[in-house]
Amino acid sequence: MTEEIFVSPAESARQYGFTEKVRGIIKEKYGDPKVFVITYGCQQNEADSERLLGIALECGYSRAEKAEDADLIIINTCAIREHAEKKALSGAGSFKKLKEARGDRVLAVCGCMPQQEYRADQIDKSYPYVDLVFGTDRGHLLAEMLYEVLISGKRRRFVSDLPHDRLGVIAEDVPVCRESSYKAWVSVMYGCNNFCTYCIVPSVRGRERSRDPERIIDEVKSLVSGGCRDITLLGQNVNSYSGGIGFPELLDKLARIDGDFRLRFMTSHPKDASDRLTDVMAAHPKKIARHFHLPAQSGSDRILKAMNRRYTREKYMGIVKKIREKLPDAAITTDIICGFPGETDADFEDTVSLIREVGFDMIYTFVYSPRPGTAAAEMPDQIPHEIKVSRFSRLADIQNGISAGINERCVGKTFRVLSDGDGTGRSSQNKIISYDKVLPAGVFADVKITEAQAYALKGTIILKGQEKA
Ligand code: 5AD
Ligand code: SF4
């Protein structure tokens, strides 16, 4: 089983061999080959794109400023909601002109959308100018896939038809080109075994699989020694990390690495959030960000059950209570789905009351989108679009008031902010704070809040010594 999950060092070496081969071909073909990667979807997709770009650079491409200038264009797609797929398909549609302008460039569509067979078929049929299609478990093979397209001059499709519980690998030693020098994503695990009834992720991202803790520790150490200040540990459900140690133990080890940096993580499934996790966070107030993203999805037990979330509202509130006790300065954010099949007005009112009861710093609200192949898409009582949208707007209005209240209470307080270089930065709570000076990106500064709006905080930088004045 283990052999099947981890890509072998021999296979990694073979892939490096293909980067050499591609390098030779594209130098001859294009002179100065360039690549452009377009990413839709979540942080995991952004992390995947950084690897795709890393491999492309290893193959000898350099980065293009825009798609029109590129000889290789990759669209990394998302499938979580219909809207995300529409955006990706319209991106693929825009390839037509690019191909007409220059027939020798290679156009690729990859990621979650074509991992669904019917979408890969659709691209084959309706997007004839797409040269390369590959799924979520093939990114590390980009050099080999490119080689095949380049030498054959034919369209190629590499989408695994393995069932969910055998889909997905762990590929270490893949080159990465990170977008930021001071912020980084580090995947700790991939895939998901939860099967929430609305969710396509388990089908497209495959079985849960955890990286070796030593590899994660080495990666974080090397990021920190390279000047990285903000590291987000990624996993569909980090709490089910199982690399021989659990997630709290991993987080604890990472927080013990020397250096001036912050760790974040997402996402935590409430059914698995443990006391041990909040204890570890409490033990490392500087190194572990005071932010918990804890998707509730609904405040109604009936709907939570239909969603197969495997926790109740009471259990959720119990976790919130623990966070408030042990980490009083932590922000709590959540995801909510409006209009899940069968959601009555009374169920929705339960969500409204949950939002009021918790007082989230921020909620990410989504209109339920039926995903073909998921259990919820087949449920009776699909909610009309207008109702979903009106529930969505109502939540947004309520949350605006709650966020404004929380932000007002920040006035007069001081936050340690990591500068984004444009006169704004992020606090440990992940709030965006703007201030009166422009600091270089990646620098920490203390900022005293002087003004609050619903989603914005303003402050002044406290210079050393000034705080005592
Ligand atoms: N429709 C709407 N929202 C969804 N999410 C996941 N699947 C769907 C769907 N089919 C939301 C969940 C999840 C977030 C990343 O996206 O709230 O936490
Ligand atoms: Fe990320 Fe899920 Fe979208 Fe894939 S389908 S990009 S895993 S949010």
* Digitized pLDDT (tens) for each residue of the chain, 469 residues in all: 444 799 999 999 999 999 999 999 999 999 999 999 999 999 999 999 999 999 999 999 999 999 999 999 999 999 999 999 999 999 999 999 999 999 999 999 999 999 999 999 999 999 999 999 999 999 999 999 999 999 999 999 999 999 989 999 999 999 999 999 999 999 999 999 999 999 999 999 999 999 999 999 999 999 999 999 999 999 999 999 999 999 999 999 999 999 999 999 999 999 988 899 999 999 999 999 999 999 999 999 999 999 999 999 999 999 999 999 999 999 999 999 999 999 999 999 999 999 999 999 999 999 999 999 999 999 999 999 999 999 999 999 999 999 999 999 999 999 999 999 989 999 999 999 999 888 999 999 999 999 998 778 999 999 775 654 3
Query: What b/e sequence results for 360-385 when a residue is b if at least 16 CB atoms lie within 10 Å of its CB, and e otherwise?
Result: bbbbebbbbbebeebbbbeeeebbee
- Is any atom of ligand 2 closer than 6 Å to the C-beta of 44? yes
Distance, CA of 93 to CA of 129 (rounded, Å) = 9
- Is any atom of ligand 1 closer than 6 Å to the C-beta of 339? no
Residue 322's closest CA among 263, 289, 277, 284? 277
Chain length of the chain: 469
Q: Collect all residues with Cβ–Cβ distance below 8 Å to 395 and sequence separation of at least 6.
A: 336, 338, 351, 352, 355, 363, 365
Q: Residue 406 C-alpha to ligand 1 middle, in angstroms?
A: 25
Query: What b/e sequence results for 46-68 when a residue is b if at least 16 CB atoms lie within 10 Å of its CB, and e otherwise?
Result: bbbbbbbbbbbbbbbbeebeebe
Q: Residue 160 C-alpha to ligand 1 middle, in angstroms?
A: 24
Residue 383 DSSP symbol: P
Nearest CA to ligand 2 atom 8: 42
Q: Residue 453 C-alpha to ligand 2 middle, in angstroms?
A: 31
Q: Residue 39 C-alpha to ligand 2 middle, in angstroms?
A: 11
- Is any atom of ligand 1 closer than 6 Å to the C-beta of 183? no
- Is any atom of ligand 1 closer than 6 Å to the C-beta of 340? no
Number of other residues whose CB lies within 10 A of the CB of residue 23: 16
Q: Residue 303 C-alpha to ligand 1 middle, in angstroms?
A: 14
Distance, CA of 175 to CA of 145 (rounded, Å) = 16
CA-44 nearest atom, ligand 2: 1
Q: Residue 41 C-alpha to ligand 1 middle, in angstroms?
A: 11
Distance, CA of 184 to CA of 85 (rounded, Å) = 26
Residue 147's closest CA among 168, 123, 159, 131? 131
Closest ligand (CA of 364): 1
**At 111, which helix (H) or strand (E)?**
strand 106-111
- Is any atom of ligand 2 closer than 6 Å to the C-beta of 79? yes
- Is any atom of ligand 1 closer than 6 Å to the C-beta of 277? no
- Is any atom of ligand 1 closer than 6 Å to the C-beta of 199? yes
- Is any atom of ligand 2 closer than 6 Å to the C-beta of 205? yes
Residue 249 DSSP symbol: H
- Is any atom of ligand 2 closer than 6 Å to the C-beta of 135? no
